[in-house]
Structure 1
């Protein structure tokens, strides 16, 4: 790839991160892999935690892992799940409900950006709707929906979480809306 194209791609990713987090003047964007020398040890740890969060918790349904990955006072700022109790205990019923609705639920990390104490990650959620989901009876339809998540770290754990999901796309795929 041409050098100017690489620079443009890097700038685009940085601008996306700034837009997502609202952080002005944050540190230069770091590499996306913990094996890269551009990440600090804390940033490499944060990336590992986020990868485990989507793989072990959401894709595998291992709720007990939340106790290890989330801070005791974890705050979930997600608009579609207003004011869940703080801490891992507030997220466990949400994950459990999704795992009942989509027993084969799988998250794929599409993009991941680490900068200082935050990780921004774009994921794809996929699964077959085989159980009730917040009042919506099983439709037996396959869904594939994108999300953007921002995780704020304190003391090596996820302390705050923001998520935006293509919920209209999800409802369309389930046949709830047209």
Structure 2
């Protein structure tokens, strides 16, 4: 017997927190599409569970103790709306992408993030097949000292870009995301 809609919602965010490939295969449909992957490493746009695992690896590379406590769930026959908080500590570079290339790299600040998001999940055949979100990214960037720019954060970001550390961080994060996506294949098809 499959998971009910609330279990699917909790499962999707648990995958992001843990990188569990078995849970990803149970919760995420093979044709899953993440509308929010545009700011993520390229592997996050891979359809299906692999893209979700890549997204989780990307977020966990920047935020240790990543958690998504769910505040509320509403559902219809084919959708779930989830209101939650994204929480963690910024201990790794937070790299955002545009057109699969480095857009912005925020060096680790050690600061805590805690802000609200709303996610809309489409369902089919007992699995999540689509994700889109309404996030308060301005609050998150404020908590990291990026917007409005704290002078120390702005100088570190500029230094990272000028010295090539931002590009190296982007390459490393993209590799971590791709490795997480490949983990699903290795776990579910060990003979390949």
Partners of 1:168 and 1:48 in 2: how far apart? 29
Between 59-68 and 166-175, report the one with greater CA deviation. 59-68
TM-score by length of 1: 0.70
The SS at the match of 1:104 is: strand
Q: State the 1:97 CA deviation.
A: 1.3
* Runs of 4+ with deviation above 3 angstroms: 79-83
2:78 paired with 1:117 = yes
Post-superposition CA distance 1:85-134 (Å, at most 9, x none): 21111222221011121120111111110111111010001111001111
Post-superposition CA distance 1:61-96 (Å, at most 9, x none): 324421221110101112753781211112222210
Counterpart for residue 175 of structure 1: 145
- The structure that is helix-richer by fraction is 2
Matches within 5 A, 1:78-97: 78=36, 80-81=38-39, 84-97=45-58
8 Å CA contact retained: 1:153, 1:159: yes
Post-superposition CA distance 1:13-62 (Å, at most 9, x none): xxxxxxxxxxxxxxxxxxxxxxxxxxxx98x71111111222x3123332
Q: Which gives a bigger RCO, structure 1 or 2 (Cα 8 Å, sep 6+)? A: 2
**Structure 2: which 5+ runs fail to align?**
96-104, 149-192
Partners of 2:134 and 2:46 in 1: how far apart? 19
TM-score by length of 2: 0.65
Partners of 2:106 and 2:54 in 1: how far apart? 16
The SS at the match of 2:93 is: coil
Matches within 5 A, 1:14-163: 45-54=4-13, 56-78=14-36, 80-81=38-39, 84-134=45-95, 135-163=105-133
The SS at the match of 2:36 is: coil
Counterpart for residue 10 of structure 1: none
8 Å CA contact retained: 1:63, 1:95: no
**Structure 1: which 5+ runs fail to align?**
1-40
8 Å CA contact retained: 2:93, 2:106: yes
8 Å CA contact retained: 1:99, 1:105: yes
